[in-house]
Structure 1
Amino acid sequence: MSGRRPADTAAAGQPDPKRAKTGAPATGAPPVLDIAAIRAQLAAKRAALEAQAGTSTSKSASPAPAAPTPPPAAAPGPAALPPKPAMDASIAERLAAAKARIEALTARAANPYLSGAGSMPKTEPTTSSAPQPSVSSVALHPLLMTEAQREAQASKNEKQAMRDRYKTMAPKFTSVKANANIVASAAPSRASPAAASAPSLNPYASTASTSNSPAPDEERAVTRRSKKLQFSRAGKYVAQGDALRNEQKMDALRQRIAEASRKAGLDSEFDTLERSLKRQPPPEVEWWDKAILPEGSNYDDLEKSVEWITTSQDSLITHLIQHPIPIPAPGDKKVGERGLMLTKKEQKKMRRQRRQAELEDKRDRQKMGLLPPDPPKVRLANLMKVLTSDAVQDPTKVEAKVRKEVAMRAYMHEKDNKDRKLTTEQRKEKEYQQMVARERKGIHGAVFKIKYLTNGRHRFKVRETARSDLLSGVCIFHPTFALVLIEGVDKSVKHYKKLMLNRIDWTEQARPLGEEGDDGEDGDDDEEGGTKRAGADGEGPDLADNKCELIWEGEVPERTFKMFRARHAESDTKAKEWLTPKWEGMWDLAKRWVWQGEDL
């Protein structure tokens, strides 16, 4: 079939040479399906049918008139077939069916959900009066696109991905409502031009968001306002360094003067009293306000400071609100209900009622047969009443058996008590844990002044009682008097007070060294070896007017001493060193103390 008509050539998808020369516009429809291949198949079928019908070669090779050029203003749509010559009815029906099939495929390609493009193309708003694109302008399936169309589609998808990637991410946490309201009120609205012209409170907000003509396809760059450099004045840090060095020099000088005066013994009780009673003047600005107020200001110019706080950018106070984490109040904690405090008589009554109820329950169970009955408790007093017949038959054997049972019951009773008794280590551990539990409630202290502490028995009781009660402190021996300072839990302090004020007879004279009961009572009271200097030969001061008085008692924040020790002090300065700066005021109080019953 070498002499096909131009119509067949057009039907086979070949370009028309006349149309190409004249420059007539094509149909204008973008290739939706492979229509050229379909046309080629239809032309082949048609040629085969003509050959079967006996169509002559001359008729098939005769020149046919050129296909009319479609008007340039034709609407874009499916390719229109050129007019065909007269043919058989069966061939015409097949051609009509092929046309209908092509139109159906073209209409199906117009559906975006069947084309495989994934999304409808974005239509840019234009002001020109250009005709709207037809159905065939929908994005094609990648298999139906040409190489140029695939590249264009890939570049478009890449741009869209870049825009989605650099979008501002929404916060993944719930913001504070107060701050959100402030930011929302400060953010300008796109709909209202008045709000768009209002200045934003956030200096880092994007300027593109306040423009009247937003560009959705362009990336909006966040513009930040650079902060101006603030230079420190010349010599600022040099002056601070000089002031710090001068202060350190003054502290070192004061320390040297204090050491020299302490070595020379010039630190009298009056100087110490004046120093302890003198209070430092209040500072110009408290430390909690120094970080908020401007540098160099005080409470006198408070109005200017408040104005600076509200207007300055360097202020720590802003319009934002900080909500601290709520901490439950101590009163909100659920504490187990405490039982009623019963007196000794009520406790005995409750115990008697409880044991009676248990006995009644046990008897009821024995009556019902749930528990075996208790064996009879035979004693020598009820021997004949319980074992009547057996006691009459062999009274000696029964009496020996009863005595054995009584001894066994007494032995088991003593054994149970012994098993329940705590060992020495367990008892000490229990007492220590009780003392620690009491110590959490608070530490108490007491100070005693003793006229003469020369008796070895008195020193032994003072020292060993403090150690057994787990009290810490110090006992200072001075040529004029003795001072005892203790600290510990309230129970131990109360017991020690009874010892010092009631139990010890302070007027008792010291025994001679050779007398029985006096050896070894006075141990190593002092590491300096001066504990036996008074009354060592049995001749000490007369203790007829000796007495001990409590000069101070109260609570202390924490323990100062680790254990109870005895120390000798020949001067007031040495005594205050043993007492530490926390308790040195007690020495001045003891020196000014007036004994009861004595005149000033």
Structure 2
Amino acid sequence: KISAAAAAAAAAAASATATVLGTSGATPSTVPGATTPAVGPAGAAAATITDVERSKKIAQLQEQIRAKLSGTLASVLPPPPPPAVQDKPKPLILDAEGRTVDGSGRAVVVPQLTPTLKANIRAKKRETTKNQQAAERAQTEEASESHFHDERITLKPAVRNKRALRFHEPGKFQQLAERMRMKAQLEKLQNEISQIARKTGISSATKLALIAPKADTHSNEVPSMEWWDSVILTDDLSTVDAQGTISIRESAITNLIEHPTQMRPPNESSRAVYLPVFLTKKERKKLRRQNRREAWKEEQEKIRLGLEPPPEPKLRISNLMRVLGTEAVQDPTKIEAHVREQMAKRQKVHEEANAARKLTDDQRREKKVRKMKEDTTLGVHVSVYRIRELQELQSKKFKVETNAKQLFLTGICVLFRDCCVVVVEGGPKQQKKYRRLMMHRVKWEEDMVKNADGVEIPNTCVLVWEGTTQRRNFGEFKYKSFPLEKSARDFFQKHHVEHYWDLAYSGAVLEASEDA
């Protein structure tokens, strides 16, 4: 369409131009060899008027053509570009003080260009590029998020419903706790059964599962059958065969051997024990000599560097003439006084050093206590003594109690007729010292006591038992007197060591029977 309209417009312009040229009386082209007639002044003026009219008509035709083209091509062709704005310098306006201001009268801050290094320029470009990249990434993320986000949709906050008070039924948590305890006990029993089954076989595990575990209670009731015998013994213990033996389950006896799990003793230390190295007398002297030599070298080095002043010559009356020489002859009295002053000074320094190293009374007491006390975390050594009579022997009672407290032993001394029991707890060194006191230092045979028949016999002290326990069962050493045997045993049973009393009292009964 555009090309057809342009062609039509061009044809119309050509025809109009031809018409103008044809009617304007243009001169024909000259022929070579022909002669042009001469033109006068009147003819020249007419030719000028004709050219002016012709140019006017051409301008009118061009306006008509432009109008026609604008009507047909205005909707198709883009508008002509605006004229380029010429970048001209703005006028410089100065105020009364000589400052640069704009048209409104505000001061204009002119940036000052300062020279900088290429490295700073490159760093600034890198920072600018990094900021631009970060901004582009942020825009990309926002665009991707906003692609799936609809602003018209709004979330309403959840409404919290009203909740009423709901009380638990009484006994609910007790039942839950009992159920959890039963479940834990069942799991423990099942683990024990599975471990035994892996070691000794399924049949032995089944039999051991029927055995009730030993209760950790101190009861005086004697069971009719021990738990370790319940596997092979029958329920009816009253039946006896012809040989006088109790019937047993033969099927319960197998050729399997049960190996108990090996456990580490509770008082065994986890750290490796190394034997200490003991040096001979010659080695100790050599080591001391080497240490003194190193200290002397260090002192000489400090003197050589000027850190310490050189020591004065060690003057004595014996080396006076050898050290001073002629000076000692010039004024012997003065030199002797000077030497004696040095000797007194050295003696004073020596005594002050000894006094500084000497322990005070409190430090000496703490050292003695530290040597007496022993570490009993891995095991406590216990000794049980039986004395025939101790109630009336005040001096012996004082020695027993005082030595136990001085050795920092814990325990108890139970006073009962014909059977006084002394229990002491502590370390091995403490027990050794106390054993020597009870068995050798105290002369028990010097005191004569009466037995049940009224016969005077010498007093005795016997070591009933000694061993180790995991923890202490008594506090500070003290005396307890009981009139009845049952009350004394109840006291030991309260501390879970009634076997101490059983051992001591049974020995006293046997000793009394032998004396009778």
Q: TM-score interval w.r.t. the shorter chain?
A: 0.3 to 0.5
Question: How high is the TM-score relative to the length of structure 1?
Answer: 0.38
Larger Rg: 2
Length-normalised TM-score, structure 2: 0.43
